[in-house]
Amino acid sequence: MAVMERTTLSRKSFYVYFRDRHDLIARLLEPLRAELSARIEAARAAHDSPRDQYRAMFTEGARAYVEHGPLLRALRESSARDDDARRVWHDFTEPPITKSVERIREETKAGRSHGLDAEVVARALITMNQACFFDQLVDDPSVDPKPLVEALAEIWTRTIYGDSPTGP
């Protein structure tokens, strides 16, 4: 009902364009996912050190959660109860997990990281980021995301590369 109130579509017209509210959310998230991926990859490419790369990537992620947090939260919460929402949430969250798995494997192959189960660690770290973004940024757009971004970059760097406070 809230969706109808925010559009000029009648209920009948809505179903001409969308199967259901999850189809609407999926279509809203497709361009966001593509834009976010491009911004994160550009941020990563602009820096040499892993810590700086993570800082830049998480800054972009934080921006996305500040700008689109209510939509992302609605989807995440409904994914616990609805198969369609679960699929849409999975399609949104799986690409960064896959990229993180690949990165951890590359760093391990290059000898810069050791002894990590890339799949398990990537899923844990991405889940941590999402929880922190939801908890600390979504409901208060006035919050400065920099301290959170710094903490996440430090956690990722130490997890993947070891306990060196200065990192690679």
Residue tagged 């844990």 (tokens): 124
pLDDT value, residue 96: 94
Q: Write out the chain's pLDDT in tens, 168 residues.
A: 455 565 676 666 666 667 777 677 777 777 888 888 899 999 989 999 999 999 999 999 999 999 988 888 988 988 898 888 888 889 889 999 999 999 999 999 999 999 999 999 999 999 999 999 999 999 887 999 999 999 999 999 999 999 654 444
pLDDT value, residue 16: 66
Tokens encoding 85: 């929402």
Domain boundaries, the chain: 13-161
pLDDT value, residue 97: 96
Q: For the domain 13-161, what is the CATH superfamily, name and number? A: Tetracycline Repressor, domain 2 (1.10.357.10)
Cα atoms found within 13 Å of the Cα of residue 83, Cβ hemisphere only: 0
Instruction: Write the single-letter amino acid at 111.
Output: G
- 13 three-class SS: helix
Cα atoms found within 13 Å of the Cα of residue 128, Cβ hemisphere only: 16
Whole-number Cα distances in Å, 91 to 26, 68, 77, 153 = 9, 16, 15, 24
- Helices 50-79 & 118-133 angle (0-180, nearest 10): 70
pTM, two decimals, is 0.82
pLDDT value, residue 20: 72
Residue tagged 């990722």 (tokens): 156
pLDDT value, residue 65: 93
